[in-house]
A and B are shown apart, each in its own frame.
Chain A
Amino acid sequence: MKLWTKITLFLLPIVIALVSIGIGRFSVDFTTTVQILLSQVFPIEQTWTEMEETVVMQIRLPRIILAILIGAGLSIAGASFQGMFANPLVSADILGVASGAAFGASLGILLIGNGIAAQGLALVFGLLAIVFTNIIGGVGKKMPVFMLVLAGIVTTALFEALISLIKFVADPEEKLPAITYWLMGSLGTASYQDLWLAGPLIVIGGGILLAVRWRINLLTLPEDEARSLGISVGKLKWVVIFAATLVTAASVAVAGIVGWVGLIIPHVARMLVGNNNERVLPVSVALGGAYLLIIDTVARSVTATEIPLSILTAIIGAPFFAILLRKTGGGWS
């Protein structure tokens, strides 16, 4: 990849963010938006209303940052899982992490109400789910990859049944709509509180994955070969799994289940830069952040009512992905 392509790619989320902050149901002039943003750093005389400032600083900004973080996080987690298992089918949703986290959050909404409890439980159950999948699938042992995918399907089925159980007992007026809506994914109530909760975890998990991205390539080698290169395969696998799960569960905790991103973005990245995870992971971060940001901007601004994210990620993502697949043959060799 040429240098300028690289620069364009990594500037993409930032450029889209700048455009996105000027878009929304509440109309704020673009110049006003820029002034409001600049006024946070430089002393600029206030010519705008309180409301405009709240919209830009308290509603749009945290939401945009979260959308980029979550899009990037889900994509890098998906890319890591795919790279690690050398399997284009796996993603955090398929390994059961997303449904585990979703179960945790539904449980939180049902028992405690909402907020921190739901998000904390999402994390706990997301991690539990991946441990469960690994026990069934036998990670670290000489097990074929399809075992792991099957294990993930089993785990997902189990947690989805538990989610249905929760929906069944939930109060149909107040809690059920909250749970259902949330299961379709939304950043509709994103705030700095959510950002502080999920942001650090996504950054830490993503940072770990980026740091070991070169070694993820080695995980696909036969174990003794990797060992001869001085890499402890077992330990590395767990580091990758833990980091990717941390990222996914943190995302689910604040935005609910956002499907498709973790599956398709890594594919797109591979179509652009090939199979080397050293390149696939950073490119996934840039593309994923940009993609979810675009989706979320559409979700919040096209109609008066919020559109659930998963609907859009699938409706926009699936045909786009289909075309790419036909054109490139998947980029997986």
Chain B
Amino acid sequence: MNKKWMATLAFSALLLAACGNNEEATTANEEATADVAQTAEERLITDQLGREVAVTETDRIVTGGLLPYPSAWYFATGSGEEIVGMHPNSYSATENSILAKLAPEMLDASTAFVKNGEMNIEELMNINPDIYFELSTDEKTIEQAEKAGIPTMGVKTFDQSDAEPLATYTSWLELTSEITGKAERKDMFIEEGDAAQAIIDEKLATVDAADKPKILFLYGASADALTVTGANFFGEQWIKATGGIDVAAEAGVTGRKDVNMEQIYEWNPDIIYITNFTPAQPEDLYTNGIGSFDWSTLDAVKNKQVHKVPLGIYRWYPPSGDAPLMLKWMAQKNYPALFDYDMNEEIKAYYTKFYDYNLTDEEVDSILHPVSEAAKVTK
């Protein structure tokens, strides 16, 4: 009796496995094997984990948990054709950003290989990537992809030793230009970023430490939790680079953490920035629209100094190709009297220079005032 059962079970398992294994996967497997065979143009590229990765082709790029990377690829190469697969969260950011207009071909990318935040290796093999980019911290996924014969680059999102907000993005562009051999746009970016920072540093040299604004980055705001970001996170870098005081970092908050309203009262920031990772908008604070929190007594709210972080080629809070613009935008919000440039013109000029795209006034407005839907990260 027992044996019969076992046999039936084993048979059903086989049947199930056979059904699940679709044809494409097999083809991809064969192609992958074929790729390994022709090692003629193989190059060794060192990724940010210090691993040497053998790369042959660069025509099919898939990006995983490193969410801003598809836009970085586009930025570094001027082309989105190669991006054939990306994380669903990258996709929603792309779809809701100007990138959808600059590189509409990126919207053809597949997102099927990530479900509920987990990568499915067989689905990834279906896409048959030449290179797969993944967070350097996600060692499990990197190992899995490597085992499947996919050249995989581990990339760092945040380097704590870098105080400078553009450093992370620059490192991505350097890696990308090494892979593609195109360095021109990377150099332009570094130049533009240095120039923006130089202007800011020069003007801020006259500012007294006591006059610096107290700044809070609100990462998430809902009836359930108020999340802020502190030290060792992008917010602190932006604040330092644009001459503010990060109240959360000063109070010992690191990374992103939940705090209570009383703590926010205690900080009583002069300026609050709301990231693109939450649907919350400045209006929600002005009108006390979140849970039962009362924001009205905060200085930032009284003086209407709550700003939603813009969303251009990517969310401006993490590293993005628009990072020099983020510097200029934030510096102006922090010190409106010192920085009198027209942000709309700055954005237009930057987009013409880097993306060869002439923005309309409406498009500039949608960058500066992103819709709440752009926060949605799952599809």
Contacts and interface: CB of A to CB of B under 8 A. Distances in A.
Nearest to A167: B116
A106 to B, nearest CB: 11
Which of A49, A59, A186 is packed against the most chain B CB atoms within 10 Å?
Answer: A59
B375 A174 contact: yes
A306 B261 CA distance: 10
Contacts of B263: 25-26, 304-305
B79 interface: no
B19 interface: no
Contact of A25 (B117, B266, B375, B377): B266
B378 interface: yes
A304 B216 CA distance: 13
B224 A304 contact: no
Nearest to B278: A174
A66 interface: no
A168 interface: yes
A178 B116 contact: no
A54 B223 contact: no
Given A114-B223, A171-B378, A182-B224, A191 B259 contact: no
A303 interface: yes
Nearest to A27: B266
B224 A54 contact: no
Given A174-B220, A306-B259, A189 B266 contact: no
Q: Interface residues of B toward A: which range? A: 35 or more
Nearest to A171: B378
B326 to A, nearest CB: 20
A60 B262 CA distance: 8
A300 B377 contact: no
B225 A25 contact: no
B222 interface: yes
A45 interface: no
Contacts of A182: 224
A59 B262 contact: yes
Contact of B224 (A58, A60, A114, A172): A114
Contacts of A188: 225-226, 258-260
A143 interface: no
A189 B278 contact: no
Contacts of B226: 188-189
Contact of A54 (B265, B266, B278): B265
A207 B277 CA distance: 44
A298 to B, nearest CB: 13
Interface string A73-100: 0000000000000000000000000000
Contact of A173 (B252, B261, B377): B377
Contact of A306 (B258, B268, B278, B378): B258
A177 interface: yes
A174 B373 CA distance: 12
Interface stretch (B40-48, B169-177, B289-297): B289-297
Contacts of A305: 253, 257-259, 263
9 contacts: A49-B297, A59-B262, A59-B265, A173-B375, A174-B375, A189-B224, A191-B292, A304-B257, A305-B253
